[in-house]
A and B are shown apart, each in its own frame.
Chain A
Amino acid sequence: MTAALDAPVRPAPVAPIRSASLSFLRLLRIELRRSPVVLILPLIAALFWYDSYRASMTQQPLWMLRTFWNMGQAHTIIDFGPFVAGMAAWIGSRDGRRRTTDLVTAAVRPRWTVALVSWAATAIWAVAAYLAFVGVLFGVYAAEGVRGEPPWWWVAVGVTAVVAFSAAGFAVGTFFPSRFAAPLAAFGGFLAMVMSAQTGFKNPSGWALILPTNSQGNYEQQDTGIFYPYLPDLPIARILFLAGILAACLGLLGLPARAGGRWLRRTAALVTLAGVATTATAVVLVGTAQVDLRGVVIPALHDAANDRPIAYTPVCGPAAQTQVCLNPAYGRYLTDVTTALAPALAEVSGLPGAPQRVTQIAATDTGGPAAMAISGSPPVLLFGLGAEASLPGSNGFQDGTTTTKDFEGILRVQFAQAFLGAGTAGDTPAQQAVEAALLQRAGTTLADQPRLEEIARLGPGPKLSATGPVYDAAKRLAAMAGTAWHAWLAANLTALRSGALTLEQLP
Chain B
Amino acid sequence: MNVELADLTRRFGRTRAVDAVSLRAGPGVFGLLGPNGAGKTSLLRMMATVLTPTSGRMRLLGRDPGAFPQRREIRRRLGYLPQNLGYYPGFTVFEFVEYFALLKEMPPGQVSRAVAAAVERVGLGDRARAKLRTLSGGMLRRAGIAQAIVNDPELLLLDEPTAGLDPEQRVAFRALLREVGQRAAVVVSTHLVEDVGAVCAEVALMDAGRIVFHGTPAELTARGEDSGAAGDAPLERGYSAVLSASRTAAVARS
Do residues B91 and A6 form an inter-chain contact, with CB atoms below 8 A? no
Please tell me if the beta carbons of B76 and A14 are within 8 angstroms of each other in the complex. yes
Question: A107 near B: Cβ within 8 Å?
Answer: yes
Contact A34 B49 (CB under 8 A): no
B84 contact from A2, A27, A99, Cβ within 8 A? A99
What sequence of 0s and 1s flags, for each residue 6-22 of chain A, a beta carbon within 8 Å of any chain B beta carbon?
A: 10111111111001101
Closest-CB distance, B137 to chain A (whole angstroms): 14
A106 and B149 form a contact (CB under 8 A): no
Quick one: which of A1, A2, A9, A36 has the most chain B CB within 10 A? A1
Q: How far is the CA of A115 from the CA of B175 in the complex (A)?
A: 36
Is A465 an interface residue, CB under 8 A from the partner? no
A13-B77, A106-B80 known; A26 vs B87 contact (CB < 8 Å)? no
Residues of A within 8 A of B176 (CB): 1, 3
User: How far apart are A5's CB and chain B's nearest CB, in angstroms?
Assistant: 8
Per the 8 Å Cβ criterion, residues 107-121 of B in contact with A are 107-111, 113-114, 117-118, 120-121
Closest to A110 in B: B72
Asked if B90 is at the interface of the complex by the 8 Å CB criterion, the answer is yes
Please count how many residues in chain A sit with their CB below 8 Å of the partner chain's CB atoms. 42
Q: Give the complex CA separation of A10 and B152 in angstroms.
A: 5
B147 at the interface (CB under 8 A from A): yes
B117 lies within 8 A of A15 (CB): no
A109 touches B88 (CB 8 A): no
Query: Judging by beta carbons under 8 Å apart, are B87 and A11 in contact?
Result: no
CA distance A261 to B49 in the complex (A): 13
Instruction: Specify which of B49, B68, B95, B172 is in contact with A106 (CB 8 Å cutoff).
Output: B49
**Counting CB contacts under 8 A, is B104 at the interface?**
yes
Is A34 within 8 A of B95, CB to CB?
yes
B107 touches A12 (CB 8 A): yes
When A15-B106, A26-B108, A30-B95 are in contact, do A8 and B87 touch as well, CB less than 8 Å? no
Inter-subunit contact B91/A34 (CB<8 Å): yes
Contacting residues of chain B (2-51) with chain A, CB-CB under 8 angstroms: 45, 48-50
A262 to B71, CA, bound (A): 13
Whether A281 sits at the interface, judged by CB under 8 Å, is no
Task: Name the residue of chain B whose CB is nearest to the CB of A10.
Answer: B152
A345: shortest Cβ distance to chain B, in Å? 70
When chains A and B are docked, how far (Å) is the Cα of A103 from the Cα of B103? Answer: 10
Answer whether residue A504 sits at the interface, using C-beta atoms and an 8 A cutoff.
no
Query: Chain B: which residue is nearest A107 at the CB level?
Result: B103
B87 touches A100 (CB 8 A): yes
**Main SS at interface, chain B:** helix
- Docked Cα-Cα span, A100 to B68, in Å, equals 21
Q: Would you call A11 and B107 a contact (CB within 8 A)?
A: yes
- Pick the contact of B122: A1, A102, A114, A262 (CB < 8 A): A1
Select which of B69, B76, B86, B178 is within 8 A of A13 by beta carbon: B76
A-chain residues with CB within 8 Å of residue B86 when the two chains form the complex = 95, 98-103
Q: Is the CB of B111 within 8 A of A26?
A: yes
Cα A230 to Cα B73 in complex, Å, equals 55
A107 touches B142 (CB 8 A): no
Q: Is the CB of B90 within 8 A of A36?
A: yes
Expressed in whole angstroms, the minimum distance between the Cβ of A107 and any Cβ of chain B is 4
Q: Are B123 and A1 interface neighbours, CB within 8 A?
A: yes
Whole-angstrom distance between the alpha carbons of A104 and B85 in the complex? 11
Q: B99 at interface (Cβ–Cβ under 8 A)?
A: yes
The answer to whether A102 touches B50, judged by C-beta atoms less than 8 angstroms apart, is yes
- Contact for B88 among A4, A20, A94, CB less than 8 A: A94
Cross-chain contact A103 with B100 (CB below 8 angstroms) = yes
Contact call A1/B169, Cβ cutoff below 8 A: yes
Q: Per a CB cutoff under 8 Å, which of B68, B80, B106, B108 touches A102?
A: B80
**Cβ–Cβ < 8 Å partners of B50 in chain A:** 101-102, 105-106
For the complex, what is the distance from the CA of A339 to the CA of B9, rounded to whole Å?
94
Alpha-carbon separation in the docked complex, A261 to B70 (Å): 11
Given known pairs A114-B103, A262-B68, the reply for A3 and B178 (CB within 8 Å) is yes
Within 8 A of A (CB), among B98-152: 98-100, 102-111, 113-114, 117-118, 120-123, 142, 147, 149, 151-152
Q: Is A23 an interface residue (CB 8 A)?
A: yes
The reply to whether A106 and B117 contact each other, CB–CB distance below 8 Å, is no
Q: Does A108 contact B (CB under 8 A)?
A: yes
What is the bound-complex CA distance between A162 and B15, given in angstroms? 46
Asked if B75 and A108 sit within 8 Å, CB to CB, the answer is yes
Verify B88–A104 contact, CB threshold 8 A: no
Contact of A3 among B68, B84, B172 (CB under 8 A): B172
Binding site for B on A (CB under 8 A): 1-6, 8-16, 19-20, 22-23, 26-27, 30, 33-34, 36, 94-95, 98-109, 114, 261-262
Q: Which residues of B contact A (CB under 8 A)?
A: 45, 48-50, 68-69, 72, 75-78, 80, 82, 84-91, 95, 98-100, 102-111, 113-114, 117-118, 120-123, 142, 147, 149, 151-152, 169, 172-173, 175-180
A sample of 14 inter-chain contacts (CB < 8 A) reads A1-B123, A5-B120, A8-B117, A8-B180, A14-B76, A15-B106, A26-B98, A26-B111, A33-B95, A104-B103, A107-B103, A107-B104, A108-B105, A114-B103
The 3 closest A-B pairs by CB, nearest first: A99-B86, A1-B172, A107-B103
